[in-house]
Amino acid sequence: MIRHPGAIIGKRFFRYAVFLAGALLVAGGAAHAAGAGSGLTLDECLILAAEHHPSLEEARATLDAQRARLDQVKAGTALTGSLSASTTRNSGADQSYSTAFTATKLLSDSGKNALERRSQGLAIDTASESQREAILAVRKGVKDAYYTLLLNGLKREQAANAVRTYERHLEKAKGFYEAGAKAKFDVTKAEVDLSNARIALVSAEASLATARAGLSNSVGIQLGDVEAVSPFLALRALPDEPFAVEQAMANRPDIRTARLKSESGKLSVAIAAKGNAATVSLSGAANLSGSEWPLDDSFRATVTLSVPVFDGGLTGARVAEARYGAQGADAALRRVEQTVLYDVRSALLSVREAEARIPVAELLVRQAEENLTLAEGRYETGVGNVLEVADAVLAFNSAKVSLYQAQHDYSAALAKLEKTLGGEFE
């Protein structure tokens, strides 16, 4: 049954923030339980990743650094002051003393600092989008690793079931052979099938161990021999392509970053043009100096107007560089827009293709199960042969694995679609 997501693409890449108050408790308990080989839900893994993944810590640090950079820009027009003191002794003269306090305030820089503040504000927004991109990437990585673990767990379970099935068949073949109802070939065939099944089980267990390591890597901490307990995603309604493109254009961090860089490029041209702009500053100083106490005092206030006359073409070259950079940013924005169109269409097609395979795989499982029941019945009544049973078991196991693979592919494709749209389904 199809479950509708509400047709609205949310921004649940910040969903971990909702759990922030209890995330440390959940993370600590889940990590402790994981070490004992217990199960973890997908949401628990996402919370763990939000708390521990190095990429998210790196993105937060980058954002904080850009905010600190804005404080530096603001300090460019702030009042500054300095205090100095000195003493001097010359031969044939008394020792002299001097102390001074100087304060300076930039009154005007023709608007350059204001432009730099706007530009740094855009840099902060860009870092914020990069953080959002990191969150989306980590969450998708966790989902991919979790669904892979779930798939390999089911494959391992099916391989173990196959071993048990072949063990039962071997017992039956031995019984028929000892009773004189079947030939020795049936026993040998059952033994070979059981050996192959045990080899497949060893391979499935190795794949499961690799999937566990992959989940630990995606979360950012060692989880141990955990089991995936959340099921694959149920089928749900998908947005149509025009709506999906609209959501991607509005929400994807990469295209929003490209827009910010395009706007920042235009600001860079204006900032570069201020390279030879006039500045006005006010400074004041209070001095105490002399060789006898009390020292003489003096005060001074200065207003300075600085107007660059020529700079050898440096400002013009910087303006040209900024213009080329702005043109490149505009081109990059158009490139990202084209990429979004392709990504949305490709992701939707992948989900629909995986969705279409699920009912077919379910039908194959039912047919294979019925065929296996018939083959086993025919064998036990003496009508069928061991090859027919072996083929039926192999077909049933293959059908089950195909169903698990289709369900995995659908869940993974949905996770990719969510990242492609820049958010998650509500």
pLDDT of residue 92: 63
pLDDT at 102 over 60: yes
User: Alpha-carbon Rg of the chain, whole angstroms?
Assistant: 36
pLDDT at 99 over 50: yes
Residue 19 maps to a domain: yes
- By the 8 A CB rule, do 410 and 153 touch? no
Residue 84 maps to a domain: no
- By the 8 A CB rule, do 362 and 403 touch? yes
- By the 8 A CB rule, do 109 and 270 touch? no
Q: What is the pLDDT of residues 10-58, one digit of tens each?
A: 444 333 333 333 333 334 444 433 444 589 999 999 999 999 999 999 9
Q: What is the pLDDT of residues 129-143, one digit of tens each?
A: 999 999 999 999 999
pLDDT of residue 9: 39
Q: How many helices (H) and strands (E) does the chain have?
A: 10, 8
Q: What is the pLDDT of residues 369-392, one digit of tens each?
A: 999 999 988 888 877 788 888 899
- By the 8 A CB rule, do 421 and 344 touch? yes
- By the 8 A CB rule, do 404 and 184 touch? no
Q: How far from each other are the two terminal CA atoms of the chain, in whole angstroms?
A: 18
Strands 279-290 and 296-306: antiparallel
Peptide bond into 253 cis (omega under 30): no
pLDDT of residue 146: 97
Residue 250 maps to a domain: yes
Residue 93 maps to a domain: no
Query: Residue 404: which H helix or E strand, with range?
Result: helix 386-421
* 3-state secondary structure (DSSP) of residue 37: coil
* 3-state secondary structure (DSSP) of residue 286: strand
pLDDT of residue 19: 35
Paired with 193 in beta bridges are none
Nearest-angstrom CA–CA distance, 52 and 59: 12
- Amino acid identity of residue 190, one-letter, is A
pLDDT of residue 97: 82
Residue 154 maps to a domain: yes
- Amino acid identity of residue 17, one-letter, is A
Tell me the residue range of the domain where 253 lies: 9-77+108-276+312-425
Residue 408 maps to a domain: yes
How many percent of the chain have pLDDT more than 70? 90
Nearest-angstrom CA–CA distance, 393 and 371: 9
Q: What is the pLDDT of residues 240-250, one digit of tens each?
A: 999 999 999 99
How many percent of the chain have pLDDT more than 90? 69
What CATH number corresponds to the domain at position 171? 1.20.1600.10
3-state helix, strand, coil in the chain (%, to 5): 70, 15, 15
Residue 258 maps to a domain: yes
Predicted TM-score (pTM) of this structure: 0.82
Q: With cut-offs at 50, 70 and 90, classify the pLDDT of residue 93.
A: low
Strands 227-228 and 39-40: parallel
Task: Please state, in angstroms and as integers, the Cα–Cα distance from residue 320 to each residue in 67, 119, 325, 374, following that order.
Answer: 28, 18, 9, 80
- By the 8 A CB rule, do 400 and 362 touch? no
pLDDT of residue 23: 37
Task: Please state, in angstroms and as integers, the Cα–Cα distance from residue 217 to each residue in 24, 53, 73, 223, following that order.
Answer: 19, 9, 39, 9
Geometric angle at alpha carbon 169, from 164 and 175, rounded to 5°? 130
Residue 86 maps to a domain: no
- Compute φ and ψ for 277, nearest 5 degrees: -80, 155
For CA atoms 23, 28, 32, 35, give the dihedral sign.
positive
pLDDT of residue 152: 97
Number of independent structural domains in the chain: 1
